[in-house]
Amino acid sequence: MLTGLNIADLSVLDALFLPKLSSTARDELAEVFTSRHKKSSVAVTSNRLVDDWG
């Protein structure tokens, strides 16, 4: 699945962090951001405060 994200010019992560993320999910999310760095865009939406993303 992560490979498919790299072919899009823009990835939209909607309602991110509604449930708390497991450490595995956080690692995978970091991989998405790292793989897209300086190559394409990511838009993130969340109803939580940034302080609650932990």
Decide: residue 18, CB within 10 A, 0-12 exposed, 13-18 middle, 19+ buried.
Answer: exposed
Beta strands in the chain (DSSP E): 10-13, 41-44
Q: What is the pLDDT of residues 28-54, one digit of tens each?
A: 888 888 888 888 888 888 888 878 766
Q: What is the pLDDT of residues 3-35, one digit of tens each?
A: 666 678 888 888 877 777 888 988 988 888 888
Domain range annotation of the chain:
2-48
- Overall pTM surpassing 0.75 (yes/no): no
